Amino acid sequence: MKKIRYFTLKKYLSIVFLIFTVASIQTANAIIQITDVNQLPWDERFRMGNKETTNGKLLFSLKGGGNLLYVKFNPGWSADGTEAHYHTFHEWGYVLDGDFPLFEFVSPNQKKGTLMNMRPGTFMDRPAYSIHGNRAAVMEKQIVTPPSTQLLFYEPGKTVSLNPENRSYSDEWKSVEEFFSANFQHTADTHTMEWEEDVELPGVFVKWLSDHTKKGFTAKLRHAPAGWSHPKKNLKSYNEQGYRFLYILSGDMNIEIIDDDNNRINTTQAKKDFFISQPPMSIWNWGDKELTEFGVTWLEVQYGKGTTIGNGPIIPSSLLKNNAN
């Protein structure tokens, strides 16, 4: 995995924030990681299904916090336990290309469910205790559909099957007080979902995908047009507790690379299929020049604390003082 050192707070905060405790400064040694996903090798440990019908790459992993996978479902995809099941954890996903049919259920007593066709640009926000799965008819359709490449993030927890013959079956589903439904946003269909002005980034456009700010999870699609730069030059910010993920869907993004002494080293250009992980206490700098030459579209996910929903609200990013014009 290609990692680029972005900017640490070790020396900078000792000058700017003298009121910080030593412990806080020590935890501030986080760095932003930039990964060219196409350069990562496929890894059998991260496929989502039977061998040779799916491939996977690990983009992010946090102990006790979850995993982000880059998964390709090939024509003829098959997996064990595809019938109706639910998770005790939250997960989200985004379809990069191809089709992926899936059934959604509102009740454990429901047998057939509702067919959901996930297509390029579909974002899925699935809460815990959301029943879903595939029937034999869907698996047959998967044979003739184009291969589907997706991002899939899942938090810690377990899977419970509703099929008594499945090894993941448990009677505990009978004690669940309420089951929930997943939220699907079809971002690629402009008749269904239009761009709107981004109030946080003037001149940028946004599509809201999920907003659970109080529970600690948001997801947006953002687009900056060619030549866009932030109105406030060299605006730097950081999040104290939560992670922020960016995945470049198209175009180019110029990212400032700064050393420990707050001296600019160079600018790194992230392109399509680059993944950016911003951990807590790492600094994001919008720079003093254009963010993108040809325009850039990216998926952005943010957490309130760590990478799990429900651990606290998303607190607005803290701005570093005396750095913006």
Higher pLDDT residue, 224 or 146? 224
pLDDT at residue 103 is higher than 90: yes
As a whole number of angstroms, the distance between CA 263 and CA 153 comes to: 35
* Cα–Cα distance, 206 to 209 (Å, whole number): 9
Asked if residue 145 is part of any domain, the answer here is yes
Same domain, 16 and 62: no
In this predicted structure, the answer to whether residue 148 has a pLDDT above a threshold of 90 is: yes
For residue 27, the model assigns a pLDDT of 36
pLDDT of 52 higher than 50: yes
Q: Do 27 and 70 fall within a single domain?
A: no
The domain that holds 86 is classified in CATH as 2.60.120.10
pLDDT given at position 257: 64
Domain span including residue 163: 41-186
- For residue range 67-95, list pLDDT tens digits in order: 999 999 999 898 887 899 999 999 999 99
Least confident of 119-133, 187-201, 258-272: 258-272
**What's the pLDDT score for residue 79?**
87
Q: Convert the pLDDT of each residue in 110-125 to its tens digit.
A: 999 999 999 999 999 9
235 and 137, same structural domain? no
Q: Average pLDDT of 227-231?
A: 96
Query: Are 46 and 177 within one domain?
Result: yes
CA angle at 123 for the pair 115 and 319, rounded to the nearest 5°: 160
For residues 260 and 283, state if they share a domain. Answer: yes
Q: Is the model's pLDDT at 25 over the cut of 80? A: no
Integer CA distances (angstroms), 84 to 134, 272, 294, in order: 7, 34, 44
Given a cut of 90, whether residue 143 has pLDDT beyond it is no
Q: What is the pTM of this model?
A: 0.88
Q: 253-277 pLDDT, tens per residue?
A: 998 865 555 656 667 899 999 999 9
Q: Among 239, 241, 201, which residue's Cα sits nearest to residue 221?
A: 201
Instruction: Give Cα 231 distance to the centre of its chain.
Output: 27
Same domain, 89 and 124: yes
Region of poorest pLDDT, from 31-40, 262-271, 300-309: 262-271
Are 161 and 243 contained in the same domain? no
Q: 198 and 181, same structural domain?
A: no
Q: Is residue 313 within 8 Å of residue 213, measured between CB atoms?
A: yes
Strand partners, 70: 57, 151
Looking at the fold, whether 199 and 103 belong to one and the same domain comes out as no
The overall longest dimension of the chain from CA atoms, in Å, is 64
Domain tally for the chain? 2
